[in-house]
Amino acid sequence: MDKNAKKNLNILMAIDSLTLDFYGGAGAVFLDYASGLIKKGHNVAIFFRNPGGRIPSEKEIPGVKVYTYVNNASDPLTFLIKDIVICLRTLKNACAEFKPDVINLHHPLPAAAARFVPETDGCPRVHSFQAPWELEYRCHKILKKSDIFAWPWHLINIQARNLIEKFALQKASKIVVLSSFMAELLTRMHAIDKERIVKIPASVDTERFKPSGGMTAARRRTGLPEKRTVILTIRRLVPRMGVENLLIAFKQLLQERSDALLVVGGAGPLLGRLKEKSVELGISGSVVFPGYIKEDLLASYYESADLFVLPTLELEGFGLVTLEALACGTPVAGTPAGATSEILSQFDKRLIIDGTGHEPIHSKISQLLADPALVSSLRNSAREFVLKNFSREVMFEKVSEFFIKEYAEN
Protein backbone atom coordinates (compact mmCIF):
# COMPACT_ATOMS: atom_id res chain seq x y z
CA MET A 1 0.00 0.00 0.00
CA ASP A 2 1.15 3.53 -0.79
CA LYS A 3 2.20 5.06 2.56
CA ASN A 4 0.61 8.35 1.55
CA ALA A 5 -2.74 6.61 1.08
CA LYS A 6 -2.83 4.89 4.48
CA LYS A 7 -4.93 6.87 6.96
CA ASN A 8 -5.72 4.24 9.61
CA LEU A 9 -2.47 3.39 11.36
CA ASN A 10 -1.34 0.82 13.91
CA ILE A 11 0.06 3.03 16.68
CA LEU A 12 1.89 1.50 19.63
CA MET A 13 2.13 3.86 22.60
CA ALA A 14 4.52 3.22 25.50
CA ILE A 15 4.90 4.78 28.95
CA ASP A 16 6.88 3.69 32.01
CA SER A 17 4.08 2.80 34.45
CA LEU A 18 0.37 3.49 34.61
CA THR A 19 -2.51 2.96 36.99
CA LEU A 20 -5.97 4.50 36.92
CA ASP A 21 -5.78 5.03 40.69
CA PHE A 22 -3.22 7.82 40.18
CA TYR A 23 -1.71 8.81 36.86
CA GLY A 24 -0.92 12.56 37.00
CA GLY A 25 -0.50 14.91 34.07
CA ALA A 26 1.76 12.65 31.99
CA GLY A 27 -0.65 9.75 32.33
CA ALA A 28 -3.60 11.99 31.45
CA VAL A 29 -1.93 13.08 28.21
CA PHE A 30 -1.03 9.46 27.39
CA LEU A 31 -4.62 8.25 27.91
CA ASP A 32 -5.99 11.23 25.96
CA TYR A 33 -3.75 10.35 23.01
CA ALA A 34 -4.89 6.72 23.10
CA SER A 35 -8.63 7.44 23.20
CA GLY A 36 -8.33 10.30 20.70
CA LEU A 37 -6.40 8.30 18.12
CA ILE A 38 -8.92 5.46 18.35
CA LYS A 39 -11.75 7.94 17.77
CA LYS A 40 -9.93 9.16 14.66
CA GLY A 41 -9.97 5.60 13.27
CA HIS A 42 -6.50 4.34 14.22
CA ASN A 43 -5.67 1.00 15.84
CA VAL A 44 -3.98 1.70 19.18
CA ALA A 45 -2.04 -0.52 21.56
CA ILE A 46 -0.68 0.74 24.89
CA PHE A 47 2.41 -0.65 26.62
CA PHE A 48 3.39 -0.03 30.25
CA ARG A 49 4.54 -1.51 33.54
CA ASN A 50 1.72 -2.33 35.94
CA PRO A 51 2.75 -1.00 39.38
CA GLY A 52 -0.34 -2.54 40.98
CA GLY A 53 -3.87 -1.23 41.02
CA ARG A 54 -6.47 -0.64 38.32
CA ILE A 55 -5.06 -0.49 34.80
CA PRO A 56 -6.64 0.82 31.58
CA SER A 57 -8.58 -1.72 29.55
CA GLU A 58 -11.17 -1.78 26.77
CA LYS A 59 -13.73 -0.78 29.40
CA GLU A 60 -12.10 2.64 29.83
CA ILE A 61 -10.77 2.97 26.26
CA PRO A 62 -12.97 0.97 23.85
CA GLY A 63 -10.88 -0.61 21.10
CA VAL A 64 -7.49 -0.36 22.80
CA LYS A 65 -5.09 -3.31 23.00
CA VAL A 66 -3.08 -3.57 26.22
CA TYR A 67 0.44 -4.93 26.71
CA THR A 68 1.72 -4.80 30.26
CA TYR A 69 4.33 -6.33 32.54
CA VAL A 70 5.04 -6.52 36.28
CA ASN A 71 8.29 -5.87 38.16
CA ASN A 72 8.17 -6.78 41.85
CA ALA A 73 11.85 -6.20 42.68
CA SER A 74 12.28 -4.19 45.89
CA ASP A 75 15.78 -2.69 45.85
CA PRO A 76 16.47 0.08 43.26
CA LEU A 77 19.37 -1.55 41.39
CA THR A 78 17.66 -4.94 40.97
CA PHE A 79 14.46 -3.16 39.97
CA LEU A 80 16.22 -1.16 37.24
CA ILE A 81 18.03 -4.19 35.77
CA LYS A 82 14.92 -6.37 35.90
CA ASP A 83 12.80 -3.57 34.45
CA ILE A 84 15.05 -3.22 31.42
CA VAL A 85 15.09 -6.98 30.77
CA ILE A 86 11.32 -7.51 31.14
CA CYS A 87 10.51 -4.30 29.26
CA LEU A 88 12.66 -5.41 26.33
CA ARG A 89 11.08 -8.85 26.17
CA THR A 90 7.50 -7.60 26.46
CA LEU A 91 8.04 -4.78 23.97
CA LYS A 92 9.56 -7.20 21.46
CA ASN A 93 6.53 -9.50 21.76
CA ALA A 94 4.12 -6.55 21.47
CA CYS A 95 5.79 -5.29 18.29
CA ALA A 96 5.87 -8.77 16.73
CA GLU A 97 2.15 -9.26 17.38
CA PHE A 98 0.77 -5.75 16.84
CA LYS A 99 3.07 -4.74 13.92
CA PRO A 100 3.03 -0.96 14.56
CA ASP A 101 3.26 1.62 11.79
CA VAL A 102 4.31 4.28 14.33
CA ILE A 103 5.63 4.03 17.89
CA ASN A 104 4.78 6.83 20.30
CA LEU A 105 7.12 6.81 23.32
CA HIS A 106 6.13 8.77 26.44
CA HIS A 107 9.04 7.86 28.73
CA PRO A 108 12.83 7.37 28.34
CA LEU A 109 12.90 3.76 29.61
CA PRO A 110 10.63 2.18 26.96
CA ALA A 111 12.09 4.62 24.41
CA ALA A 112 15.61 3.38 25.16
CA ALA A 113 14.41 -0.23 25.11
CA ALA A 114 12.87 0.30 21.66
CA ARG A 115 16.36 0.91 20.24
CA PHE A 116 17.23 -2.74 20.99
CA VAL A 117 14.08 -4.22 19.46
CA PRO A 118 14.68 -5.14 15.78
CA GLU A 119 10.91 -5.18 15.17
CA THR A 120 10.91 -1.37 15.55
CA ASP A 121 13.47 -0.80 12.79
CA GLY A 122 12.03 1.27 9.94
CA CYS A 123 9.14 2.36 12.14
CA PRO A 124 8.90 6.11 12.97
CA ARG A 125 9.58 6.68 16.67
CA VAL A 126 7.78 9.73 18.00
CA HIS A 127 8.91 10.73 21.48
CA SER A 128 6.41 12.68 23.61
CA PHE A 129 8.63 14.79 25.88
CA GLN A 130 6.79 16.32 28.84
CA ALA A 131 9.75 17.10 31.13
CA PRO A 132 13.43 16.12 31.49
CA TRP A 133 13.60 12.89 33.47
CA GLU A 134 16.65 14.07 35.40
CA LEU A 135 15.07 17.37 36.46
CA GLU A 136 11.82 15.69 37.49
CA TYR A 137 13.81 13.38 39.75
CA ARG A 138 15.80 16.29 41.21
CA CYS A 139 12.61 18.22 41.95
CA HIS A 140 10.73 15.31 43.53
CA LYS A 141 13.51 13.60 45.48
CA ILE A 142 13.96 15.11 48.94
CA LEU A 143 17.34 14.44 50.59
CA LYS A 144 18.86 16.01 53.67
CA LYS A 145 22.57 16.83 53.96
CA SER A 146 22.72 14.26 56.74
CA ASP A 147 21.67 11.47 54.35
CA ILE A 148 25.32 10.83 53.48
CA PHE A 149 24.83 7.21 52.41
CA ALA A 150 21.97 8.11 50.08
CA TRP A 151 23.81 10.85 48.20
CA PRO A 152 26.10 8.65 46.01
CA TRP A 153 23.11 6.68 44.69
CA HIS A 154 21.20 9.95 44.27
CA LEU A 155 23.95 11.44 42.08
CA ILE A 156 24.30 8.23 40.06
CA ASN A 157 20.52 8.25 39.56
CA ILE A 158 20.61 11.80 38.20
CA GLN A 159 23.38 11.04 35.73
CA ALA A 160 21.86 7.73 34.64
CA ARG A 161 18.49 9.35 33.89
CA ASN A 162 20.17 12.05 31.83
CA LEU A 163 22.20 9.54 29.79
CA ILE A 164 19.27 7.16 29.23
CA GLU A 165 17.11 10.05 28.03
CA LYS A 166 19.81 11.30 25.63
CA PHE A 167 20.17 7.77 24.27
CA ALA A 168 16.39 7.45 23.85
CA LEU A 169 16.01 10.78 22.05
CA GLN A 170 18.80 10.15 19.53
CA LYS A 171 16.67 7.88 17.35
CA ALA A 172 13.41 9.77 17.65
CA SER A 173 12.17 10.87 14.23
CA LYS A 174 10.21 13.68 15.90
CA ILE A 175 9.83 14.90 19.48
CA VAL A 176 6.45 16.27 20.57
CA VAL A 177 6.31 18.88 23.35
CA LEU A 178 3.35 20.53 25.04
CA SER A 179 4.78 24.06 25.25
CA SER A 180 7.41 26.44 23.89
CA PHE A 181 9.01 26.43 27.34
CA MET A 182 9.57 22.68 27.13
CA ALA A 183 10.86 22.97 23.55
CA GLU A 184 13.52 25.45 24.70
CA LEU A 185 14.47 23.27 27.67
CA LEU A 186 14.75 20.20 25.42
CA THR A 187 17.03 22.07 23.00
CA ARG A 188 19.21 23.37 25.81
CA MET A 189 19.58 20.09 27.75
CA HIS A 190 19.90 17.59 24.91
CA ALA A 191 21.07 19.72 21.95
CA ILE A 192 18.09 18.65 19.82
CA ASP A 193 17.65 20.31 16.42
CA LYS A 194 14.57 22.52 16.45
CA GLU A 195 13.43 20.94 13.16
CA ARG A 196 12.80 17.67 15.04
CA ILE A 197 10.57 19.33 17.64
CA VAL A 198 6.79 19.63 17.17
CA LYS A 199 4.55 21.52 19.62
CA ILE A 200 1.08 20.08 20.21
CA PRO A 201 -0.51 21.46 23.41
CA ALA A 202 -2.47 19.17 25.69
CA SER A 203 -6.25 19.26 25.86
CA VAL A 204 -8.92 18.95 28.51
CA ASP A 205 -12.05 16.79 28.60
CA THR A 206 -14.64 19.57 28.53
CA GLU A 207 -17.49 17.12 29.07
CA ARG A 208 -15.97 16.03 32.33
CA PHE A 209 -14.65 19.41 33.43
CA LYS A 210 -17.58 21.77 33.20
CA PRO A 211 -19.82 23.85 35.49
CA SER A 212 -22.55 21.74 37.04
CA GLY A 213 -25.18 23.62 39.01
CA GLY A 214 -23.12 26.54 40.26
CA MET A 215 -20.73 27.24 43.14
CA THR A 216 -23.20 26.60 45.97
CA ALA A 217 -24.18 23.18 44.64
CA ALA A 218 -20.51 22.32 44.06
CA ARG A 219 -19.63 23.24 47.65
CA ARG A 220 -22.38 20.99 48.93
CA ARG A 221 -20.93 18.11 46.92
CA THR A 222 -17.41 18.73 48.25
CA GLY A 223 -18.42 19.63 51.80
CA LEU A 224 -16.79 23.06 51.62
CA PRO A 225 -18.49 25.95 53.49
CA GLU A 226 -20.89 27.94 51.33
CA LYS A 227 -20.20 31.41 52.75
CA ARG A 228 -16.41 31.60 52.66
CA THR A 229 -13.98 32.87 50.01
CA VAL A 230 -12.30 29.69 48.77
CA ILE A 231 -8.77 29.69 47.33
CA LEU A 232 -7.90 26.33 45.76
CA THR A 233 -4.74 24.64 44.58
CA ILE A 234 -4.40 21.00 43.50
CA ARG A 235 -0.84 19.77 43.17
CA ARG A 236 1.48 16.85 43.71
CA LEU A 237 2.96 17.96 47.02
CA VAL A 238 6.67 18.20 46.19
CA PRO A 239 9.04 21.19 46.60
CA ARG A 240 8.87 22.52 43.04
CA MET A 241 5.11 23.13 43.32
CA GLY A 242 5.64 26.12 45.63
CA VAL A 243 2.79 25.34 48.04
CA GLU A 244 4.77 26.57 51.04
CA ASN A 245 4.92 30.04 49.49
CA LEU A 246 1.16 29.89 48.98
CA LEU A 247 0.67 29.15 52.68
CA ILE A 248 2.75 32.20 53.62
CA ALA A 249 0.86 34.35 51.11
CA PHE A 250 -2.43 33.07 52.50
CA LYS A 251 -1.45 34.14 56.02
CA GLN A 252 -1.13 37.69 54.68
CA LEU A 253 -4.48 37.38 52.90
CA LEU A 254 -6.24 36.33 56.13
CA GLN A 255 -5.32 39.69 57.64
CA GLU A 256 -7.43 41.32 54.92
CA ARG A 257 -10.12 38.63 54.52
CA SER A 258 -10.89 36.69 57.68
CA ASP A 259 -13.48 34.63 55.77
CA ALA A 260 -10.87 33.18 53.39
CA LEU A 261 -10.34 29.40 53.21
CA LEU A 262 -7.37 27.74 51.49
CA VAL A 263 -7.91 24.24 50.08
CA VAL A 264 -4.68 22.37 49.25
CA GLY A 265 -5.66 19.26 47.30
CA GLY A 266 -3.24 16.49 46.38
CA ALA A 267 -0.83 14.02 47.94
CA GLY A 268 2.95 13.77 48.07
CA PRO A 269 6.00 13.63 50.38
CA LEU A 270 5.52 17.20 51.61
CA LEU A 271 1.99 16.72 52.93
CA GLY A 272 3.07 16.31 56.57
CA ARG A 273 5.49 19.22 56.38
CA LEU A 274 2.85 21.51 54.84
CA LYS A 275 0.36 20.65 57.58
CA GLU A 276 3.03 21.49 60.17
CA LYS A 277 3.77 24.74 58.35
CA SER A 278 0.12 25.79 58.50
CA VAL A 279 0.21 25.23 62.28
CA GLU A 280 3.48 27.21 62.61
CA LEU A 281 1.92 30.09 60.67
CA GLY A 282 -1.17 30.04 62.86
CA ILE A 283 -3.52 29.47 59.91
CA SER A 284 -4.39 25.77 60.31
CA GLY A 285 -8.00 26.64 61.15
CA SER A 286 -8.40 28.21 57.71
CA VAL A 287 -6.53 25.60 55.63
CA VAL A 288 -8.00 22.30 54.44
CA PHE A 289 -5.92 19.36 53.17
CA PRO A 290 -8.39 16.92 51.55
CA GLY A 291 -5.56 14.71 50.22
CA TYR A 292 -5.79 13.04 46.82
CA ILE A 293 -9.06 14.18 45.26
CA LYS A 294 -10.99 11.42 43.52
CA GLU A 295 -11.68 11.88 39.83
CA ASP A 296 -15.45 12.08 40.27
CA LEU A 297 -15.10 15.05 42.67
CA LEU A 298 -12.36 16.95 40.87
CA ALA A 299 -14.62 19.16 38.73
CA SER A 300 -16.75 19.99 41.78
CA TYR A 301 -13.68 21.19 43.67
CA TYR A 302 -12.73 23.45 40.77
CA GLU A 303 -16.25 24.86 40.56
CA SER A 304 -16.31 25.40 44.35
CA ALA A 305 -13.39 27.85 44.25
CA ASP A 306 -13.49 31.61 43.94
CA LEU A 307 -9.94 31.43 42.61
CA PHE A 308 -7.51 28.66 41.66
CA VAL A 309 -3.83 29.41 42.34
CA LEU A 310 -0.84 27.71 40.69
CA PRO A 311 2.21 28.70 42.83
CA THR A 312 4.81 26.66 40.90
CA LEU A 313 8.50 27.39 41.56
CA GLU A 314 9.95 25.59 38.52
CA LEU A 315 9.44 23.08 35.70
CA GLU A 316 5.76 23.60 34.88
CA GLY A 317 5.87 21.81 31.54
CA PHE A 318 2.26 22.63 30.72
CA GLY A 319 -0.10 22.75 33.72
CA LEU A 320 -3.16 20.67 32.87
CA VAL A 321 -4.85 21.79 36.10
CA THR A 322 -4.94 25.33 34.68
CA LEU A 323 -7.13 24.18 31.78
CA GLU A 324 -9.27 21.96 34.01
CA ALA A 325 -10.06 24.86 36.36
CA LEU A 326 -10.77 27.27 33.50
CA ALA A 327 -13.04 24.70 31.84
CA CYS A 328 -15.07 24.65 35.07
CA GLY A 329 -15.37 28.44 34.92
CA THR A 330 -12.84 29.19 37.68
CA PRO A 331 -10.20 31.92 37.12
CA VAL A 332 -6.57 30.79 37.58
CA ALA A 333 -3.74 32.92 38.95
CA GLY A 334 -0.37 31.36 38.15
CA THR A 335 3.31 32.11 38.58
CA PRO A 336 5.41 32.63 35.44
CA ALA A 337 7.38 29.42 36.08
CA GLY A 338 7.44 27.25 32.97
CA ALA A 339 4.51 27.16 30.57
CA THR A 340 1.76 28.63 32.77
CA SER A 341 2.24 32.11 31.34
CA GLU A 342 1.91 30.68 27.80
CA ILE A 343 -1.65 29.61 28.61
CA LEU A 344 -2.70 32.57 30.74
CA SER A 345 -1.27 35.19 28.37
CA GLN A 346 -3.67 33.87 25.70
CA PHE A 347 -6.61 34.24 28.10
CA ASP A 348 -5.89 37.29 30.28
CA LYS A 349 -2.41 38.52 31.21
CA ARG A 350 -3.74 40.02 34.43
CA LEU A 351 -3.86 36.48 35.86
CA ILE A 352 -0.08 36.01 35.65
CA ILE A 353 1.62 36.49 39.03
CA ASP A 354 4.67 38.77 38.92
CA GLY A 355 7.03 36.21 40.48
CA THR A 356 7.21 32.93 42.39
CA GLY A 357 7.66 34.31 45.93
CA HIS A 358 4.95 34.66 48.58
CA GLU A 359 4.76 38.46 48.23
CA PRO A 360 3.74 38.52 44.54
CA ILE A 361 1.40 35.55 45.12
CA HIS A 362 -0.37 37.43 47.92
CA SER A 363 -0.46 40.63 45.90
CA LYS A 364 -2.13 38.95 42.90
CA ILE A 365 -4.72 37.07 44.97
CA SER A 366 -5.58 40.23 46.90
CA GLN A 367 -5.79 42.28 43.70
CA LEU A 368 -8.13 39.84 41.98
CA LEU A 369 -10.44 39.34 44.95
CA ALA A 370 -10.72 43.11 45.36
CA ASP A 371 -12.21 43.33 41.85
CA PRO A 372 -15.34 41.13 41.82
CA ALA A 373 -16.46 42.56 38.46
CA LEU A 374 -13.21 41.34 36.85
CA VAL A 375 -13.46 37.91 38.50
CA SER A 376 -17.08 37.58 37.34
CA SER A 377 -16.08 38.50 33.80
CA LEU A 378 -13.26 35.94 33.86
CA ARG A 379 -15.63 33.25 35.14
CA ASN A 380 -18.00 33.94 32.26
CA SER A 381 -15.31 33.72 29.56
CA ALA A 382 -12.96 31.03 30.95
CA ARG A 383 -14.80 28.00 29.59
CA GLU A 384 -15.28 29.47 26.13
CA PHE A 385 -11.52 30.12 25.98
CA VAL A 386 -10.80 26.44 26.69
CA LEU A 387 -13.42 25.18 24.24
CA LYS A 388 -11.95 27.30 21.48
CA ASN A 389 -8.27 26.55 22.07
CA PHE A 390 -7.81 23.37 24.12
CA SER A 391 -10.73 21.02 23.53
CA ARG A 392 -10.03 17.33 23.02
CA GLU A 393 -11.47 17.46 19.49
CA VAL A 394 -8.92 20.10 18.47
CA MET A 395 -6.03 18.10 19.94
CA PHE A 396 -7.23 14.74 18.55
CA GLU A 397 -7.29 16.18 15.02
CA LYS A 398 -3.78 17.68 15.36
CA VAL A 399 -2.28 14.47 16.77
CA SER A 400 -3.93 12.24 14.16
CA GLU A 401 -2.79 14.42 11.25
CA PHE A 402 0.73 14.54 12.70
CA PHE A 403 1.04 10.74 12.99
CA ILE A 404 -0.32 10.19 9.46
CA LYS A 405 2.21 12.69 8.09
CA GLU A 406 5.07 11.17 10.12
CA TYR A 407 4.25 7.68 8.84
CA ALA A 408 4.06 8.87 5.21
CA GLU A 409 7.41 10.69 5.39
CA ASN A 410 9.44 7.86 7.01
Residue 319 pLDDT = 87
The H or E element spanning position 233 is strand 229-234
The set of residues, in sequence order, having a beta carbon less than 8 Å from that of 356 and lying 6+ positions away, is 242, 245, 311, 312, 313, 314, 335, 336, 337
φ and ψ at 234, to 5 degrees?
A: -130, 115
Q: What gap in Å lies between CA 111 and CA 191, rounded to an integer?
A: 18
Structural domains of the chain, with CATH: 10-203+391-409 (3.40.50.2000), 215-389 (3.40.50.2000)
Contact 140, 192 (CB under 8 A): no
Q: Quick one: pLDDT at residue 72?
A: 82
From CA 243, how far away is CA 241, in angstroms rounded? Answer: 6
- Are 186 and 165 in contact by the 8 Å Cβ rule? The answer is no
Q: Across 61-120, where does the E strand assignment appear?
A: 65-69, 102-105
pLDDT reported for residue 295 = 86
At residue 144, the pLDDT reads: 64
SS3 (DSSP) at 239: helix
Q: Which residues of the chain have pLDDT under 50?
A: none
* Residue-level pLDDT at 207: 92
For the four alpha carbons of 381, 383, 384 and 386, in that order, the dihedral sign comes to: positive
Write the DSSP string, 152-198.
Answer: HHHHHHHHHHHHHHHHHHHT-SEEEESSHHHHHHHHHHH---GGGEE
Residue 288 Ramachandran class (φ > 0 left, ψ -120 to 50 alpha, else beta): beta
The pLDDT assigned to 64 comes to 93
Beta bridge partners of 125: 103
